[in-house]
Structure 1
């Protein structure tokens, strides 16, 4: 018999047997019949791959012949609420097949009939469900229940058949069909979050009053992320595909709304709150700013954790589509705005002692011809700096009580130091010329000023490295002003020694900068000409490597304006863009020096920035 005839005969016998009623009998037609069919399967396996595949395809189609008729998408049995009946039907078919295989062992193991039977069932079921979903008015509860039933079935099949469903190219999952309608779930969560934000808005006018004295963050922020966590926990049981990315975009949307509509609204509440008539400082604004800083920082750090959790759940190809970087920029800008408000109040708070300082006639100190009670020596700090130190400690204490994260308080102090130095320098420049005794008094006053800021950082929560770094910042901020005063204090006679003091301490060759020092000393014009000649001669003979064309004096404005150095910050409901985090000053000084903490706030790490002419 030829191979072709043998093949046709075996196929006919095989189909005839399975089309008869014999397989449904208890003994499947008897031992002899079972052996004949088993031998036929072995022979078919030898006739080539295509013959085997044709037999398998025919058998699977035969077994599932009634499935699509019974569960037609146009009939009631084929609807989503009968999904469990579909899977129960297949379980019976699979159980019957397993019974036959256990009894007869007809099918060779390597044919993987059960897996291929499941694969075809999944294809049919996916096609049917897709039609049902397209033609039905789906609600979120029906969708969740359908996915749950489908996932349970797939879990059963994984255990029974020792296989793994993988939406990314493994054994094809029926659950994939729900991806196209998952927008129903996302829309439902969007509405739920909208309702939550309505609650936030309704309670926002009362929330601060209740929370400001006890809570360090707004309760609404923790409630928001609790809802986020609950939604994600449920969503992760339903899918690990693109809907997770869609959910992250929904989170992004409401994080922006929370920042703009809730946090900024609270900030406006602080701005408009009543302040004490006895003080220019709005302490309530400082308190609310601290609350907003804490809440924004909580949102910032929790959003980072949320991003990591989303990426943990989603399939690898989608991980790069999940990011809360832009939302982080918004929260950073809010923190910057709040810090600027604290600094604005700080400037208002030290205004009175600085005004007292400006009324002192620094040029007349030590001049016994003017007043009989004029001081003749320096022994104690001036009263203005005593008052200034007390204001610094009081204002810093109010800020540190309001801010949880020390990095933000450190950022505030860093800028408060430089702001205060700038204001002191402005007063000193306006008070020129300075007498020698006046300069000595100012140098002594600066020691009290330095100590006040050092005391502002002292806290059990601070480490030695933190306080040391802060102390270095305070010293660096004061060096230019102290250097200027020391040069002014140097005797102008002999002129050569004075010029040498300047070139040693200031170390630049600029005649314009040298002239500023002469103005601070108040030297007569005739004496200035002689000293300038000596200065030009000295700087001309120095080697090129020793000379500098400018120094911190280059940017010193000898006619500084009286406007506040910290403008009143505005509240913008749009993201301010790529802002540097206020904490970056401590974490990355180079980055902090090159970028503004807030669009309206100049960096205070550089002395010269306060004296640029506008």
Structure 2
């Protein structure tokens, strides 16, 4: 027991691996040691009391000793207070230093402000002096019509005047600003007057130099002044044109459309020889003149066409005349488009360097004809309506042309070229609703050609039934139009306006020609079938019940094979594979199916 107690006392309660169970087992290793529980309890309590006393003593020493936490806390608070006092002292010194520096630099700042204001005042005064001097000089030059000097001086005056926009509340500046505005108006009116007098008296050649310099003044005055002078010149040049062609029904009629364009060419020739050198190139006066001519002519045509549609006698415009005028107009538009599109652009250093050419002459006049192109479409409709009966009555091939396996009915070739020419012509005239109307007209007569011409050949009565060669011609023609109808649709879609593309559809027409081709194949098969009628009758009339012997082959079979082979070879010889595509195989398949069913 004593040994166990010694071992138990040797165990440190502070050990990291302390195990209370092990400790208890050492204190009470055997049931007989339970009687010592009271003594062990007293020992433990005594040990606990001793430890408690030690803890209390140490706590007291820690709290009230010379290095206690309370004293350290009080010392820290005192040091912190001292630190705050030092910081406040430094802050007060910094404020005082800033005040001293501000006081020292205040005079310097006032001096800098005074220098800046003095510089601005001197600059403004110098500019005002320059403006006043330039203004007085400009007044004198304007009266003397010395436009070259006026142009450069006016630019300087306007540039200087912009510096005083914020000073217009000052009476003297406001008065000077009004004076500058007044001299601008005087120069504008003076230059316009000089141009009017020179043109009215025919003195353009003698005063050319003055007018050229005057254009420089107009450039300095700005876009509004320049536009006024150009508008006056354009109206002056076109006055005669308007008087001749608007005031005279005969001269202004569509029959004399060529006279309008001839007049314009003479006018432009005179402009280039006499007036073009007066105006700066970047003004593009020639182009403006041409555009004004086109606008006026377009309005004239609209009036003429509207008047023609309201004729009392009910007669319509001659379609051929309409097309002739339209074609001549489009040729004219293209000529002036080429003329002005090749002109050199203004230099990036010119005042109008940002002015890009945003318009085109194509369609500038011909747009007036577009609402009346329906008459042309109606004319094409009538032409096609007359062609279909003629195609139906005429021979499939010309008299001087022999049949060939690749041949196509001559009317199909003629119709194809007519469609091609008509489509090309319409696309030049209009790519909008009129082209869509034409597409519908072409589709209409493709259907009629398929039904009334091609299918009618295959549906002739027995006494005038189509020959094998005629059927092959129909087959070739149907295949030709099936291919070209799809290409025609794509061609129209490429030319028509994008918003109308979805309305172009020739699928039903292509399918119609495919149906004609199928009917032609069936007609060829019927040819084979007709040759076999005798053999089939023999088979039908045979009394099978009285036959006494059975042979390898009935008599009608040999005849049937002979007829099938002969007719099939004839047909397949002219339904050539490279040209006819799947049709030879279709003929063979249908023949087999017919004879086996």
**TM-score, normalised on structure 1?**
0.55
Aligned with 1:160 (options 339, 360, 381): 339
1:156-555 paired onto structure 2 within 5 Å: 156-162=335-341, 170-171=360-361, 172-203=363-394, 214=403, 216-232=407-423, 234-235=425-426, 238-239=429-430, 241-269=432-460, 271-273=461-463, 286-311=468-493, 314=496, 318-347=500-529, 349=531, 386-404=558-576, 405-421=580-596, 423=597
The superposition leaves residues 189-211 of structure 1 with CA deviations (integer Å, 9 ceiling, x where unpaired) of: 3333333334334436xx58979
State the alpha-carbon separation in 2 of the partners of residues 233 and 340 from structure 1: 37
State the alpha-carbon separation in 2 of the partners of residues 213 and 144 from structure 1: 39
Query: Contact 1:22/1:29 (CA < 8 Å) preserved in 2?
Result: no
Task: Determine if the alignment matches structure 1 residue 127 to structure 2 residue 286.
Answer: no
Aligned with 1:18 (options 173, 195, 205): 195
Aligned with 2:215 (options 18, 31, 38): 38
Q: 1:213 to 1:158 in 2, by over 3 A?
A: closer
What secondary structure, in the 3-state scheme, does the structure 2 residue paired with 1:77 have? coil
Instruction: Give the number of the structure with larger relative contact order, counting CA–CA contacts within 8 Å between residues 6 or more apart.
Output: 1
Match of 2:244 in 1: 70
Task: Determine if the alignment matches structure 1 residue 143 to structure 2 residue 315.
Answer: no
State the alpha-carbon separation in 2 of the partners of residues 26 and 10 from structure 1: 19
Cα distance, 1:351 vs structure 2: 6.2
The superposition leaves residues 30-63 of structure 1 with CA deviations (integer Å, 9 ceiling, x where unpaired) of: 53x2354122122123xxx445444444443343
Q: 1:317 to 1:118 in 2, by over 3 A?
A: farther
Q: Which runs of 5+ in 1 are unaligned?
A: 275-281, 365-369, 424-614
Q: 1:393 to 1:89 in 2, by over 3 A?
A: same
Cα distance, 1:139 vs structure 2: 0.5
The superposition leaves residues 299-346 of structure 1 with CA deviations (integer Å, 9 ceiling, x where unpaired) of: 223334444554555555555544432211211112222223333454
Cα distance, 1:135 vs structure 2: 1.6
Match of 2:272 in 1: 98
The superposition leaves residues 156-177 of structure 1 with CA deviations (integer Å, 9 ceiling, x where unpaired) of: 212321279xxx9844521111
State the alpha-carbon separation in 2 of the partners of residues 194 and 359 from structure 1: 52
1:599-610 paired onto structure 2 within 5 Å: none
Match of 2:205 in 1: 27
Query: Contact 2:408/2:473 (CA < 8 Å) preserved in 1?
Result: yes
Cα distance, 1:399 vs structure 2: 2.8
Q: 1:197 to 1:99 in 2, by over 3 A?
A: same
What secondary structure, in the 3-state scheme, does the structure 1 residue paired with 2:317 have? coil
Query: Contact 2:535/2:559 (CA < 8 Å) preserved in 1?
Result: yes
Over the residues paired in the alignment, what is the CA RMSD in angstroms? 3.9
Query: Contact 2:439/2:492 (CA < 8 Å) preserved in 1?
Result: yes
What secondary structure, in the 3-state scheme, does the structure 2 residue paired with 1:65 have? helix
State the alpha-carbon separation in 1 of the partners of residues 225 and 211 from structure 2: 21
Cα distance, 1:140 vs structure 2: 2.1
State the alpha-carbon separation in 1 of the partners of residues 458 and 530 from structure 2: 19
1:543-582 paired onto structure 2 within 5 Å: none
Q: 1:209 to 1:82 in 2, by over 3 A?
A: closer
Cα distance, 1:128 vs structure 2: 0.5
**Where is the helix percentage greater, Structure 1 or Structure 2?**
2
State the alpha-carbon separation in 1 of the partners of residues 388 and 271 from structure 2: 55
Decide which structure has the larger Cα Rg and report it.
2
State the alpha-carbon separation in 2 of the partners of residues 312 and 348 from structure 1: 48
Match of 1:9 in 2: 186
Cα distance, 1:151 vs structure 2: 2.2
Cα distance, 1:394 vs structure 2: 2.4
State the alpha-carbon separation in 2 of the partners of residues 212 and 93 from structure 1: 56
Query: Contact 2:195/2:211 (CA < 8 Å) preserved in 1?
Result: no
Match of 1:454 in 2: none
Query: Contact 1:44/1:52 (CA < 8 Å) preserved in 2?
Result: yes
Q: 1:28 to 1:90 in 2, by over 3 A?
A: farther
Cα distance, 1:263 vs structure 2: 1.8
Length, aligned pairs only: 392
Query: Contact 1:343/1:412 (CA < 8 Å) preserved in 2?
Result: yes
Q: Which runs of 5+ in 2 are unaligned?
A: 1-175, 309-315, 344-357
